[in-house]
Structure 1
Amino acid sequence: MSDKPLAGRVALVTGASRGLGAAIAVVLGAAGAQVVALARNAAALEETDDAIRAAGGAPASLLALDLARGEDVDMIGPTIAQRFGRLDIVVGNAAVLGRLGPVTHLPAKDWAEVMAVNLTANWHLMRTTEPLLRASDAGRAVFVTSRRAAQPKAYWGAYGASKAALEHLAITWAQELAITPVKVNLFDPGIVRTRMRAAAMPGENPMTVPAPEEVAPKVLPLCLPSETRSGEIIRA
């Protein structure tokens, strides 16, 4: 494999300001992709850009926006089309944990936020990027999921439900695109040393958990033009 297997390709990564999203952006940038890094925090995105450059990638294009605002997400496709004229890879990584607690005790605003970011934002992302992915010779979409989707656990109701719904949505989309060159898959990174993990497991020693940089390279094969799988859940 070439050391720049994504040369000439444009890749959008959401939640790219820190953690796994930032690490994925660095991996794709180092592989030659022109990265469009998206998150709410503009200053943190600049740090991701620095890391991509340090890894030998081209300067990233930074998009600071709130994925919970559907009308803003709808403009991502047209914005990328105007800037680059193409989009080959989408990695839907951004997510929020929400409040852990009994299902019937969850405040409505916490439920709404989890669903808005983890599920509805990805639906908007599919809609706005599909024309560009279809136009690519090898459009690739990867959505980050969690074992909680298939293994419900007490107090994780909102997060687990959002990921289960995301899996259903992404696999359905993959089936609808089956006669096109677009491949859609889900990636379950397992346990990763992120801020979300620390919030969920405050008593855990973070040094016993794999760092994002250890897990992110496993996403690269799903973004390559040679990838043939679609509609699958790949677990790290």
Structure 2
Amino acid sequence: MTTTPDLSGRIALVTGASRGIGYNAAKQLAAAGAHVIAVARTVGGLEELDDEIKAAGGQATLVPLDLTDMTGIDRLGGSIHERWGKLDILVANAAVLGVIAPIGHVEAKVFDKVMAVNVTGTWRLIRSVDPLLRLSDAGRAVIVTSNAAHSARAFWAPYAASKAAAETLMRSWADETRNLRLRVNAFDPGRTRTAMRAQAMPGENPETVPHPSEVAAHILSMVDPALSQTGLIYQAREQRWVSYQQPA
């Protein structure tokens, strides 16, 4: 599923946009016609992204912001409303790994940071932009997740728990908005050549793992105004939609 929709005139917010999947998703959204609001902590990475988008004829607005800055996230929503009056696309990609370690060896400050960015920051972002996405004629939200949420492998507890929580936020949000034009889904990129994967798998040959540009291409189909799915997870590696939700 890698079709490229026409996103001309649409406003897209991408977090974690200074590198990896977020960087490439932002570039591809801009190439498809969207005005990209690129959010990340790293100013240098954002400036490089801006240069590439502009060189290709696209448009971007840079927002240096740490997703542990909760009031900053609130202000972001207000600023988007003042400037554009709506938001069409959210790609909630920013996340941190924490550490790969036995659960009893994880430091409290590390666990708290993972939850602050991956869960609380995601919720705060949803809370900030939900009213804006409802104002779009085809609001699309993509929450980037991981198979770690379901495999629950040894030593991955903080990250796995945070992604499971983020998926649950997505499913509840999708159910709340099921009768609206807003579509809310999660995206599982699978193995991807990112700095986070290098941190988790230091001995792996990166050339054996798909480049973020290949993986990010799937996100464009997930923000297509014609998309009908909501409350599901798209697995890029298998190129399929899945649901882990149990019947009520």
- Does 2:194 match 1:177? no
Verify the 8 A CA contact 2:4 2:220 in the aligned structure 1: no
Q: What residue number does 1:144 align with?
A: 144
- The one-letter code sitting in structure 2 at the alignment partner of 1:131 is P
**Alpha-carbon distance in structure 2 between the residues aligned to 1:136 and 1:21:** 22
Q: What residue number does 2:241 align with?
A: none
Q: What residue number does 1:31 align with?
A: 32
Q: RMSD of aligned C-alpha atoms?
A: 1.2
How big is the shift at 1:3?
6.8
Alignment of 1:65-80 (within 5 A): 65-80=65-80
Q: What residue number does 1:52 align with?
A: 53
How big is the shift at 1:224?
1.2
- The one-letter code sitting in structure 1 at the alignment partner of 2:36 is V
**Alpha-carbon distance in structure 1 between the residues aligned to 2:168 and 2:216:** 23
Q: What residue number does 2:61 align with?
A: 61
**Alpha-carbon distance in structure 2 between the residues aligned to 1:199 and 1:67:** 20
Verify the 8 A CA contact 1:4 1:30 in the aligned structure 2: no
Q: What residue number does 2:8 align with?
A: 7
**Alpha-carbon distance in structure 1 between the residues aligned to 2:202 and 2:220:** 30
Q: Structure 1 residues 204 and 224 mapped into 2: Cα distance closer, same or farther (>3 Å)?
A: same
Q: Structure 1 residues 198 and 221 mapped into 2: Cα distance closer, same or farther (>3 Å)?
A: same
Which shows bigger deviation, 78-87 or 130-139?
A: 78-87
**Alpha-carbon distance in structure 2 between the residues aligned to 1:4 and 1:42:** 29
Which shows bigger deviation, 145-154 or 48-57?
A: 48-57
Q: Structure 1 residues 4 and 180 mapped into 2: Cα distance closer, same or farther (>3 Å)?
A: closer
How big is the shift at 1:4?
6.4
Using the aligned pairs only, state the percent identity.
53
**Alpha-carbon distance in structure 1 between the residues aligned to 2:51 and 2:214:** 19
Verify the 8 A CA contact 2:21 2:212 in the aligned structure 1: yes
Alignment of 1:148-227 (within 5 A): 148-227=148-227
The SS at the match of 2:193 is coil
**Alpha-carbon distance in structure 1 between the residues aligned to 2:103 and 2:42:** 30
Number of residues of Structure 1 aligned to a counterpart in Structure 2: 234
How big is the shift at 1:85?
2.1
**Alpha-carbon distance in structure 1 between the residues aligned to 2:142 and 2:193:** 20
The SS at the match of 2:62 is strand
How big is the shift at 1:53?
2.4
**Alpha-carbon distance in structure 2 between the residues aligned to 1:133 and 1:93:** 17
Show CA shifts across 1:27-57 (max 9, x none).
1000000000000111210111122223432
**Alpha-carbon distance in structure 1 between the residues aligned to 2:21 and 2:133:** 23
Q: Unpaired runs of 5+ in structure 1?
A: none
Show CA shifts across 1:93-133 (max 9, x none).
00000011111111110000000111111100111001110
- The one-letter code sitting in structure 2 at the alignment partner of 1:31 is A
**Alpha-carbon distance in structure 2 between the residues aligned to 1:83 and 1:158:** 37
TM normalised by structure 1 equals 0.96
Q: Unpaired runs of 5+ in structure 2?
A: 237-248
**Alpha-carbon distance in structure 1 between the residues aligned to 2:26 and 2:114:** 23
Q: What residue number does 2:243 align with?
A: none
